A and B are shown apart, each in its own frame.
Chain A
Amino acid sequence: MSQKIPFGYHSRSAFRRVVRDSRGAAAVEAAMTFPVLIAMMLGMLEMYFYMEASHRVTAAAQLTADLVGRQATVNNGTGPASSTPMSAIFSASLVMLSPMPVSSSVPTTSNSTNPAIDVASILFGNPTVTTNNLSCSASTTGPATGESNGVANYCHGIDWELAVGGATAKANTTAVYTNFVNGCTASNLTACYCVLTSASIGNPVPFCVAGQSIIYVRVDYTYTDPIAFFFPIFLGSNQIVISESAFVTPRQVTYVPLCTTASSSSCA
């Protein structure tokens, strides 16, 4: 004689058994919490990688500026033997970015690379004459209101600029350095780079005199997040352009000329 078991009896009991069964709970809980933990770890890694990238791009910008500042003359491919090729400096910049992925070729004006680098020599000059390549005129960026360096007239501008690897030049640089050079208000002239307050140290003012210069370097590095977890969520992409700049004064000379031919007379 067989006993009839109602349909669903086994499944209901199994469900009940599963519900009541505490075995495997740890695995289940782990499965539920691990994604959170992994997400946190990924986030921290992403954060670390980005900070590291930012640090390296900063270091690359600083190094590039420092290397240019250490030279007496530089050249863009062709120059006197005594001048330093900018390509060598750019190669050093690439090294500074490793082991992050960088383009295998050295950035030039005609290729597009990651990073893109913009190097400019910002020169102080006299509006009445052409100092090197800087021809000051009424339209040239001049002193801000109330700004003076003790010279009757002076101006500043980009004497040469080398935007390589696809970097944009000029307009952006002009805005940046103008802010740097001026950057003061009539009520706070001491914040101006070119204000003559040398009397306080009894020295000839060493800044903003015709022929002196500042090196400006900007490194644009397109950072690709290797994890691509939060980046796409928050930025819509796993790439971000890290742009770092550096200002330095030349070390050896007051002005680092860019040579364009093998003759030293081309260095201006």
Chain B
Amino acid sequence: MLPNLIRTGLRRLRDDERGSVAMVVGVTIIMLTLLGGLAIDTGRIFLARDRLTHSLDDAGLAVAAGSIGYTSGKGTCGNTYLTNIADKFVNANFDASLGPYRNITVCQSTDGSGVVVAAQVQVPTVFMSILGFSTVTATVNSQIRSTGNGLEVVLVLDNTGSMTGGMSSCTRSTTQTDGTSYNGEAFGCLLNASFQLLNTLYNVGSGTTAVTSPPAALSTLYVGLVPFTTAVNVLNENKVTLSSSTLSNYNQVMGATDWNVTVGQIVNTTAAAFTGTNGTPAATDPLCAYNGTWKPAADDYIAAMDLVHLAQDICAQYVSTTFSSNVQQYTSGHPNLNNYYLADWLNTATGISGISGVGSSYSGLGWDGCVEERTSKGDPQTVTVTTSSGAPSVTAAPYYDYNITATSPSTYAEYDYSINYTSLTTGTTPPASQFWHILRVIRNGSYLPGEGEPNRSDFKSMYYNGTPTTGIYCTGTSCATKTSSNCSGCTFYQVTEHNFPNPFYDVQSCSSYTTNGNTTCTVSSATTHAWAGGATPKSGATTLTYVAGTKPVATNYYWGAPNNSGGSNDSNYECIASHMAPLDNSYTDISNALLGMNANYNTDQEPGVAWAARMLSYDGTNYHPPFQSVSTIDATASTGALAWKKAIVFLTDGTPNLVANTPSAYSYGINTSTGPWAQTTMTGTNAPAYAQPPLAAYGNNTGPVNTNNATLPAAGSNTYTLGCSYGNSNSSGVSDQAQIMCRVYQLCSEIRGQDYYVYTVFFQDSGNITSNMTVFMTDCTADGSGNIDATKMYTASDQASMSAAFGAIADQLNNLRISH
């Protein structure tokens, strides 16, 4: 029975159509549940993936801040430290309930400009696990690239006396290092704003004083400072590095223990005790002989300039009277033992005994380290500039090349000839130990070698020992009277014109002087003349043209020879104590430099801007002298994706006025026409082939020398030949103003070409903000791409506007520094 019942029941069940929909729904529900579950699982996976992407972005940004811009670790993956940082951010930003993340990997790009952070998330599934997939792994990566790695910024700040003008809003309770208070003066506003900028750059608020505990150095920020008046002070004792070859030569005269090479200070102050590495200094020592076999390396900059004089004095004590005499024939218009001037750091020496004519006078007579504007003489005609990428570029026209247009009287050529002071035989090569000078002849009209003797009238200028034209020149230090026609009581010589081509000029040493050096001088020794360069124009001689009425006038250039007369020819004239601070990533160094600033003297913006550009210049291997010591940032400031941004913040309060007496801002100015640091390349077998002076604005100058000593624009002229115009003259009618402003204009153009950023601030009482100056300052701005950017020019007339201007600039600089 039972089987029948079962069979019947099953049959009924099979045939029964009732409840069929429920069956379908039942099956469908299972399917729907699975599909819905699949959708939920998929949604979770996408959610986890999305969330992980966000987390990796945040992690990548954090990691990038710690790795981008550094060469270390380029092209590698898996750095533990960076991975831990990334893990920290993923852990904080990811929702672990979505599933565990794993395998965080940080890779640094090969060029060091980016990072890639990758990770996986393992999402547990609910419904998919029914199908055998208990977890699903999603891989995510995030790429971070930097648009900039770091910033070098130089502050070019006006330290002139006008900045001490009263301005009530400029409250400043902090005094400078020397105790000077600028509370209530315009300079106080500048100091406030400068510290505000510095603090903002270092992310320690925006206070107007130095923070009491300086922040750590930022690896991507270097700041430099160039205070300027009519001069800039280039001394920075701790930044001077002498080359090994220079050190070696010094040490032959002064034993290594006789002077402190680090600070450049003479330690052994007794000349007799100087003992070089070869024993007593000898004529064979290059520095003593000074015969052309030795020259200071370009890098040695100022230190070498003054030390060589001292070294020669020391040599003179040991070698011979004759030699000493020769050294001292480095004469008229040149420092002798009585007016040698040592660099500032030698001032701290207590005086050096045993050196005739020197003694304690060494102490306190130093050149204080300022260089300043020059008009034309000695400025190099060509300069080598560097591109923003750091690679040397072609020689560019200098801003001080006046570009005089040709009209009349035509052209002239220049030639350099070497001539010896003392006895020489016609046509012979002077002995190496002799001291050489340059005769420069500029001939009116074109000249070809071998064409014959030029007419006297053709010579527009001749420089001899710093004095143009022929005549009588006195030597020695005991002359009662020294004029070009009177050498009473001392040795003298005369220069006369001889037939061309050989000899040309004759230098005679006379024992007595009667009335006219040209006709009655009694020659006591052999007349002497020698063409070092023959009749061939000097190598690289430049044919210039000039406009009628602007014939070269020798008096329009400035010697710049060290002079401590206290007058306007003093080499320390208007020399500011505020030293430059080379690029540095130490907050304290820059802060101290700002606190060392003092306001004084007149205004000339050009040296300041020029030296800021020099500070930032990088030739692909080094920064230009004397700033090589910032080499720590070379690696990261190089080319390509790692190139740092370079910026200048330039503030001034007025129009310029030219005071040109101290060494040039572009070259060390010891009498550039005749001194050993002349910019010309001497010729002759043993003539020293001096490198171009190392202090030009853009580095070592390799081009020919601009000996064009054209006159300045006439007073009242508002257009210099460069074609720029910012008004004509200042209240005292100094026509140089237009020239300087045009030079600054041209200089700023050069800087713009380097793709630097330049922000300018004109700071004056609101009533004195002239359109000329705002145009002038606008013309100096640069947007980092070679263009003028008027939005980077600010005017300020009180504390609030200064703060606003510097605040805005600081924000923009910060944007330049790091932008991931």
Contact = CB atoms under 8 A, between A and B. Distances in A.
A11 to B, nearest CB: 22
Contact of A204 (B47, B54, B219): B219
Contacts of B25: 29-30, 33, 36-37
Given A72-B815, A197-B84, A264-B807, A202 B73 contact: yes
Contacts of B205: 131-132, 257, 267-268
A203 B76 CA distance: 14
Nearest to B820: A251
Contacts of A114: none
B21 A26 contact: yes
B804 A201 contact: no
B22 A32 contact: yes
Interface string B181-219: 000000000000000100010111111100111011111
Contacts of A195: 84
B72 A202 contact: yes
B208 A265 contact: yes
B43 A129 contact: no
A254 B800 CA distance: 26
Contacts of A193: 85, 88
Contacts of A254: 65, 203, 218, 818
Contacts of B50: 55, 58
Given A72-B815, A82-B811, A203-B72, A33 B216 contact: no
B554 to A, nearest CB: 53
B553 interface: no
A73 interface: yes
A54 B47 contact: yes
B67 interface: yes
Interface stretch (A1-9, A92-100, A207-215, A229-237): A207-215
A126 interface: yes
Interface string B618-646: 00000000000000000000000000000
A62 B39 CA distance: 25
B204 A22 contact: no
Contacts of B87: 191
A264 B196 contact: yes
A138 interface: no
Contact of B213 (A33, A128, A180, A212): A128
B451 interface: no
B9 interface: no
A90 B720 CA distance: 56
B54 A62 contact: yes
Given A201-B73, A257-B206, A191 B84 contact: yes
A151 B204 contact: no
Given A129-B213, A201-B73, A251 B84 contact: no
A200 B80 CA distance: 8
Contacts of A73: 811
Contacts of A59: 54
A66 B95 CA distance: 18
B32 interface: yes
B642 to A, nearest CB: 13
Given A203-B72, A251-B61, A268-B205, A210 B215 contact: yes
A25 B43 contact: no
A191 to B, nearest CB: 6
B110 to A, nearest CB: 15
A263 B801 CA distance: 10
B43 A51 contact: yes
A218 B716 CA distance: 68
A2 B44 CA distance: 76
Nearest to A198: B81
A21 to B, nearest CB: 10
B718 interface: no
B584 to A, nearest CB: 15
Interface string A227-268: 000000000000000001111110111110100000111011
A131 B204 contact: yes
Contact of A129 (B22, B33, B212): B212
Contacts of A65: 58
B259 interface: no
Nearest to B816: A252
Nearest to A249: B62
Residue among B66, B80, B205, B804 with max Cβ neighbours from chain A (10 Å): B205
Given A72-B814, A252-B815, A246 B54 contact: yes
B80 A190 contact: yes
Given A131-B204, A180-B88, A203-B72, A36 B213 contact: no
B93 A129 contact: no
A14 interface: no
B178 interface: no
Interface in B206-253: 206-208, 211-213, 215-219
A202 B36 CA distance: 52
A32 B93 CA distance: 46
A268 B206 contact: yes
B551 interface: no
A214 B19 CA distance: 65
A33 B50 CA distance: 37
Contacts of B57: 62, 66
Given A22-B17, A210-B215, A210-B216, A249 B61 contact: yes
Residue among B73, B82, B88 with max Cβ neighbours from chain A (10 Å): B88
B219 A48 contact: no
B90 to A, nearest CB: 10
A165 interface: no
Given A29-B19, A201-B67, A252-B815, A247 B58 contact: yes
Interface string B40-77: 10011001001100100110011001110010110000
B695 to A, nearest CB: 33
B356 interface: no
A246 B93 contact: yes
Contacts of A37: 25, 29, 32
Contacts of B456: none
Given A205-B66, A252-B818, A151 B22 contact: no
Interface in A162-213: 180, 183, 190-191, 193, 195, 197-198, 200-207, 209-212
A47 interface: yes
Contact of B65 (A32, A206, A210): A206
Contact of A200 (B79, B814, B820): B79
Nearest to A55: B47
B204 A132 contact: yes
A263 B32 CA distance: 63
Residue among A29, A51, A204, A206 with max Cβ neighbours from chain B (10 Å): A206
Contact of B39 (A22, A30, A44): A44
Interface string B365-395: 0000000000000000000000000000000
B416 to A, nearest CB: 52
Contact of B81 (A58, A72, A197): A197
B29 A180 contact: no
B392 to A, nearest CB: 29
A88 interface: no
B818 A253 contact: yes
A247 B33 CA distance: 38
Interface of A: 22, 25-26, 29-30, 32-33, 36-37, 40, 44, 47-48, 51, 54-55, 58-59, 62, 65-66, 69, 72-73, 80, 82, 126, 128-129, 131-132, 151, 180, 183, 190-191, 193, 195, 197-198, 200-207, 209-212, 244-249, 251-255, 257, 263-265, 267-268
Given A129-B211, A131-B204, A211-B203, 20 more contacts: A25-B19, A29-B20, A44-B39, A47-B40, A51-B44, A62-B93, A65-B58, A128-B213, A129-B213, A131-B211, A191-B88, A193-B88, A197-B81, A201-B73, A203-B67, A207-B62, A209-B215, A247-B92, A249-B61, A252-B814
Q: Which 4 A-B pairs have the closest CB atoms?
A: A202-B72, A264-B807, A29-B21, A129-B213
9 contacts: A25-B21, A37-B32, A62-B57, A80-B807, A82-B807, A193-B88, A201-B66, A202-B72, A246-B58
